Amino acid sequence: MKQKITVLLLLISLTVFSQVKEEQLNLMPWPQNIELSEGSFMLTKNFKVNITGAPNARIFVGATNFLRRLDGRTGMFFDQGFITGLNEVPEAQLQINCVRSGKIELYDDESYLLDVTSNKITINATTDIGALHGLETLLQLLQNNSNSFYFPVSKISDFPRFTWRGLMIDGSRQFMPIDVIKRNLDGMAAVKMNVFHWHLVDDQGWRIEMKKHPKLIELASDGNYYTQEEIKNVVKYAADRGIQIVPEIDVPGHASAILTAYPEIGSKAVNVNVGSGEKGQQLKQIQTYSVERNAGIFTPTLDPSNPKTYELLSSIFDEVCPLFLGKFFHIGGDENEGKDWDSNPKIQEFKKKHNLATNHELQTYFTMQLVPMLKKHNKELMGWEEIMTKNMTKDAVIHSWRPNEDIGGQNSLANAVKGGYKTVLSNGYYIDLVYSVENHYSVDPMPKGVVLSDKEKARILGGEATMWTELASAKTIDSRIWPRTAAIAERLWSNENVTDISSLRKRLKTVSFRLEELGLTHLKSKEGLLRNISNNQKSEALLDLSNVCEPLKGYTRNKGGTEYKMYSPLTLFADVCTPDASDAILFGEAVVNFSNNKTIENQVIVVSYLNKWIKMDFDLNTLSDNAPLIQPLLPLSKSLKDISEQLLLKIDKKQNIDISVLNELLEKCNSKEHADVELAVYNSLKKLVQG
Amino acid sequence: MKQKITVLLLLISLTVFSQVKEEQLNLMPWPQNIELSEGSFMLTKNFKVNITGAPNARIFVGATNFLRRLDGRTGMFFDQGFITGLNEVPEAQLQINCVRSGKIELYDDESYLLDVTSNKITINATTDIGALHGLETLLQLLQNNSNSFYFPVSKISDFPRFTWRGLMIDGSRQFMPIDVIKRNLDGMAAVKMNVFHWHLVDDQGWRIEMKKHPKLIELASDGNYYTQEEIKNVVKYAADRGIQIVPEIDVPGHASAILTAYPEIGSKAVNVNVGSGEKGQQLKQIQTYSVERNAGIFTPTLDPSNPKTYELLSSIFDEVCPLFLGKFFHIGGDENEGKDWDSNPKIQEFKKKHNLATNHELQTYFTMQLVPMLKKHNKELMGWEEIMTKNMTKDAVIHSWRPNEDIGGQNSLANAVKGGYKTVLSNGYYIDLVYSVENHYSVDPMPKGVVLSDKEKARILGGEATMWTELASAKTIDSRIWPRTAAIAERLWSNENVTDISSLRKRLKTVSFRLEELGLTHLKSKEGLLRNISNNQKSEALLDLSNVCEPLKGYTRNKGGTEYKMYSPLTLFADVCTPDASDAILFGEAVVNFSNNKTIENQVIVVSYLNKWIKMDFDLNTLSDNAPLIQPLLPLSKSLKDISEQLLLKIDKKQNIDISVLNELLEKCNSKEHADVELAVYNSLKKLVQG
């Protein structure tokens, strides 16, 4: 078969390719400069890669992976197998040249020049990291007609706008196995992200194997943790993709897991009847903690007045720091409400003694003790924005995460850079909250309406998408991260004026599809979950419903943090649904078109959706006879069917519709009471009702 | 939402459940004894598990996993989280009692008694391994009506027919990452298999991290290997599921990878012009080997006359044996044609000196040297049937794999047990060759037509499905293993008279669907691959075609072993298709029904398939405008369309059909020339042509 394809393709190479236009390209992040010319580079079985210069060996891994991905897409059966050294195939059609080995750190040169001519492709880059970016762009540049695959003749010069383009994954609340981490690192590399922030410790679990402090995994991990070898392996895997890893151990709050193993360094004051006499005096205060199973903000907090706290942390850092190559260590520092500090007389005394007026000052005192522990390992301290108080070292990197209104209208990002701190933005990039891609895409790390000096601007390192896992399992996390994170990657890499939403949506569709080849499950996980909900019945109707529903946004799905425990099932309809529900977007466009121009063509599209939903409701009722998990969805489906029927009558104008009835049915579509999802077509339906 | 479901379910618990019949149950392997009674055990949010007796701690892992799987299926939001000790919930509805800790070895007690009453479930087992089997049966027993989930009141007593119920995965030809191995171990446990044979070394790669012999991974793994920690972790993971692991290092043939690292112990005789004079005399014979990229049988073979061969192997076993807990070590021993032995004068001399008349005797000599190396680590030697020659130790386990005709009509299995050897059957269980599930299901380890004594019969330990990976990647291997391996598991566990194919097919459909909850990708990988082939176009037509096509069977897909190299793409149509193509089976049934009884109802079904394929061909042609990978499929689709059109006319009887034309079109459907697949509907079409 292979031989035949080759012959066929050679014949076809004589045919003419139509000229590719810029708007046809599905590049993301969009490059800084792109020049398209006439002509094409035709892909054949003999396509080979050659590497020259003085790159890091990661380019051999990257180029081999590039070949396999391209071969998987095109079925070319390339002759070339593994690339393991310099100048192996001097005559190769793809020539990669790197001046020097890239460093996995901020500000190293990530630029590249990609030059496609009709018979040769060259990637020139200062570093292999830049060359890897060039290979990803080349993969995105792939075009096809009916018979063959080709690259358009083009010149692309490219470099990032921000140096910190991050993704955080919370491996504490729900443990995320190594393969989840690795495939997401591949996804990051595909959209040129370069910082993986690994949230490893929180109230719900300690996830790092500790050889000197085994109690942390024995008592506080439920057996789910990363071994040190696995961590080192992931660090290497990331470095091979140009990605640095920032580990996080969240202290002094979010400490339930640490304190489950080491209750003696907790802040909780316990009144114990110590009895009387000598024996009684020897009884110690007994504090007990347990691994948290709910979501939320909890009181367990390390005791900043206890020297043992610092001994333990210092020893932990001594063990954990060497596992990571990067320069930054994230110590959390968020959401410490200080309740246990307030109620502990010993800690109150300590505050007085050290002239620490507030809990914030006490936390700063605590955090400052960690700086030298990290410095010893050449690490800079990074923390969530709460660490930024007046005495905090200027070396610390401030991770801005809270919405402005929470901190009295002040922007912590602008404050941080004005205060002399380097900073990274995550407020607006909380992808776990399942907002639309547009929300995230519109957020720029460079604040608008604030005057900053060039020096201050330079302290804005970039941004980071944060994937918290209260409501994501290893099976669903990819669909919470992708494809929206690709849009954030574009915001952080591309020119600030690349903001067109319809272009984004169009490109994202292809980018999302291509990300799948990396093993990401954001598309295909849906099918398996639907099969479970439908009890293995053919589930077109269920798919249709999922395409107009979105999981409840923000923090509304898990009210009080107790509806879902960390072991609750994440296999239900809300877990199937995703932000940017596909049919809701298409229906929205159809309604806008119809509202603007009431042609028959536009009407037909709107009507076809309404009819589809009427049929869907019928089918779902049938399916539900043998599928208990469909029952909770029927009210949603019915609401959509009911309004659809009335809207059909309204559009048909064959019957006078009572607007109050219509409004009542419409409002039923605005419910958040069913199956933890909402109908994402509500606003479009409203337009039709009012139109 | 959760609270509401609970309330709803409590109400529903008052409703009546219909009596479940045996043929409704989708149990596999089918239990030895089952008694169904009236009534049901209703599943609620308060369902809890309690464990008593003296089990191994693996039961806590197993029971926790059981709870999570059941919760994932039913969306109950069980209160119970992690189970970590004995008698945690004495009042629990599910009581598990184990007399003692199970041993991960052959012949330990795997039986269990499962007793479901309307308000209590008990699992009684001698060992926790039996109890784990009971939990899997309970999961398979789950029923539902429209609103709730329940277990039918029943008593099941169960135990295995054979003690060796194995699956082999070849991690050498295509490297299979740890997550692939783990999810397949979960699949094995779900169908009560208990031996995982891990083929770790072959011509195409050495996959075990070696601390004393790092050259093996540096030079012969392409960077793809299992670390020792990962191996130990997998061994633990398997043991937690009642599975023992048998590692394989294939020697003395299949040695390209070993010899790439250690050419000095190879058998190849190289004539080197050693020049003249003293300098020339010092030149050594230089042999070179390289990691094999093709499939097939190759000559590189260890030198049995070289003491260094045994030194190295002994040292390797010293490092590898302790990684595994089980009693068996597989040393391969297959397909050594001895070509390099024949052409090496030194080896010929060695044979003479040791009175070894044939290469088989020489190989026995070689193999016997390994016995004490393994015995030192309490391991018994196992090998493919070629190791069975007259001087082979009776302690060796013979792995029977060749079809009878290859060895002159003799059955190696019967010969082995008659010769005093324990034996395991794999001939007939080569699942990589993509034959129908019926083929494998009909193969019984107990040979028919051969008279064996009870002692001889007892030496037949069981059987093993073998998954070689010349044509399977990490993304497709699950669909080659599952669901057919569940049928082999049933053959090895259940009573020999459980042989009904239609019952098997019906149950397998549900078993296959449920296996998905373990992370197995055999169903959902198809969708992603089709997306790639269709170039992200809606691909109902492509799915339809895949449901009537099967990959070429046996060794015909990769003729000469060179069409596919180990890095060739396995992302194409043949990789999407599976044995037992679903529509081919349904169409086959429809044709049989129609042939037997030419009612309108039966005709309608046949006609609907024919019409579907006519439409499919039209749609595929449209899709192919933007999908080069569809082009090679169009001839298949056209053949099916052409015959379908003529058959419609024939069935309609509105037109006289030229039978020679019909036969010609039919034969076009019997082609193996396109896309490495065949139309699995050929025989059914033939029936229609001739009917």
Contacts of A129 (CB under 8 A, 6+ apart): A58, A102, A104, A108, A109, A110, A194, A242
* Distance (Å, whole) CA A494 – CA B75: 43
Query: Torsion angle, CA of A508/A514/A517/A521, rounded to 10 degrees?
Result: 30
* Distance (Å, whole) CA B645 – CA B638: 10
Query: Omega of the bond prior to B252 within 30 degrees of 0, cis?
Result: yes
B122 backbone dihedrals φ, ψ, rounded to 5° = -125, 140
CB interface of A with B, residues 34-93, below 8 Å: 61, 68, 71-77, 81-82
B513–A631 C-beta distance less than 8 A = no
Contacts of A685 (CB under 8 A, 6+ apart): A643, A647, A666, A669, A679
Structure tokens of B576? 């999407």
* pLDDT score of B271: 63
Among partner residues A145, A516, A572, which is closest to B531 by beta-carbon distance?
Answer: A516
Residues from chain A that touch B479, judged by Cβ atoms under 8 A, are none
pLDDT tens figures, A393-429? 999 999 999 876 544 445 789 999 999 999 999 999 9
B524–A524 C-beta distance less than 8 A = yes
pLDDT tens figures, B394-448? 999 999 998 765 444 457 899 999 999 999 999 999 999 999 999 999 999 998 8
* pLDDT score of B14: 46
**How many angstroms away from the CA of B324 is the closest CA of chain A?**
19
What is the percent of chain A with per-residue pLDDT over 90, rounded to a whole number?
89
**Cβ-count burial B607-627 (b if 16+ within 10 Å, e if not):** bebbebbbebbebbbebbeeb
Mean pLDDT of chain B: 94
CB interface of A with B, residues 603-632, below 8 Å: 624-629, 631-632
CB atoms under 10 Å from CB of A273, counted, come to 7
A572–B81 C-beta distance less than 8 A = no
Res. B11: pLDDT tops 80:
no
* pLDDT score of B283: 45
Decide if A583 touches B, using CB distance below 8 A: no
Tell me the pLDDT band of B234, cut-offs 50, 70 and 90: very high
Contacts of B311 (CB under 8 A, 6+ apart): none
Number of CB pairs, chain A paired with chain B, less than 8 A apart: 155
- Beta strands at A460-467 and B49-53: parallel, antiparallel or unpaired: unpaired
The pLDDT of B151-180, averaged and rounded, is 98
B569–A75 C-beta distance less than 8 A = yes
Res. A660: pLDDT tops 60:
yes
Annotate A69-127 with three-state secondary structure: HHHHHHCCCCCCCCCCCCCCCCCCCEEEEEEECCCCCCCCCCCEEEEECCCCEEEEEEE
The pLDDT of A356-360, averaged and rounded, is 94
Tell me the pLDDT band of A205, cut-offs 50, 70 and 90: very high
Q: How does DSSP classify residue B413?
A: H
Res. A533: pLDDT tops 70:
yes
* pLDDT score of A92: 98
* pLDDT score of A403: 78
Structure ipTM over 0.90, yes or no? yes
User: Model pTM?
Assistant: 0.95
**How many angstroms away from the CA of A218 is the closest CA of chain B?**
12
Residues from chain A that touch B2, judged by Cβ atoms under 8 A, are 563, 568
Residues from chain A that touch B563, judged by Cβ atoms under 8 A, are 1-2
What is the percent of chain B with per-residue pLDDT over 70, rounded to a whole number?
94
* pLDDT score of A286: 64
Res. A258: pLDDT tops 60:
yes
**How many angstroms away from the CA of A70 is the closest CA of chain B?**
9
CB interface of B with A, residues 493-552, below 8 Å: 509-510, 513, 516-517, 519, 523-525, 527-528, 531-532, 535-536
A177–B177 C-beta distance less than 8 A = no
A509–B147 C-beta distance less than 8 A = no
Query: Torsion angle, CA of A299/A301/A305/A309, rounded to 10 degrees?
Result: 160
* Distance (Å, whole) CA B408 – CA A360: 85
Residues from chain A that touch B561, judged by Cβ atoms under 8 A, are none
CB interface of B with A, residues 224-253, below 8 Å: 227, 229, 233
Res. B529: pLDDT tops 50:
yes
A293–B625 C-beta distance less than 8 A = no
* pLDDT score of B403: 78
Q: Are A196 and A237 in contact (CB under 8 A)?
A: no
* Distance (Å, whole) CA A421 – CA A402: 17
Decide if A475 touches B, using CB distance below 8 A: yes
B569–A632 C-beta distance less than 8 A = no
Helical H runs in B398-500?
A: 412-418, 437-441, 454-458, 477-481, 484-493
Give which of B173, B532, B540, B634 to mutate to test A binding, by max A Cβ within 10 Å: B532
Res. A655: pLDDT tops 50:
yes
Q: Which one is predicted more confidently, A116 or A391?
A: A116
Res. B136: pLDDT tops 70:
yes
pLDDT tens figures, B182-201? 999 999 999 999 999 999 99
What is the percent of chain B with per-residue pLDDT over 90, rounded to a whole number?
89
Tell me the pLDDT band of A282, cut-offs 50, 70 and 90: very low
B61–A569 C-beta distance less than 8 A = no
Res. A1: pLDDT tops 50:
no
Tell me the pLDDT band of B284, cut-offs 50, 70 and 90: low
Tell me the pLDDT band of B286, cut-offs 50, 70 and 90: low
Among partner residues B81, B536, B563, which is closest to A567 by beta-carbon distance?
Answer: B81
pLDDT tens figures, B463-481? 999 999 999 999 999 999 9
A146–B625 C-beta distance less than 8 A = yes
Annotate B332-356 with three-state secondary structure: ECCCCCCHHHHCCHHHHHHHHHCCC
**How many angstroms away from the CA of A55 is the closest CA of chain B?**
19
Helix count and strand count (H, E) for chain A: 26, 18
* pLDDT score of A296: 94
Residues from chain B that touch A628, judged by Cβ atoms under 8 A, are 74-75, 144-149
Q: Are A328 and A281 in contact (CB under 8 A)?
A: no
* pLDDT score of A674: 97
Tell me the pLDDT band of A657, cut-offs 50, 70 and 90: confident
Q: Are A448 and A150 in contact (CB under 8 A)?
A: no
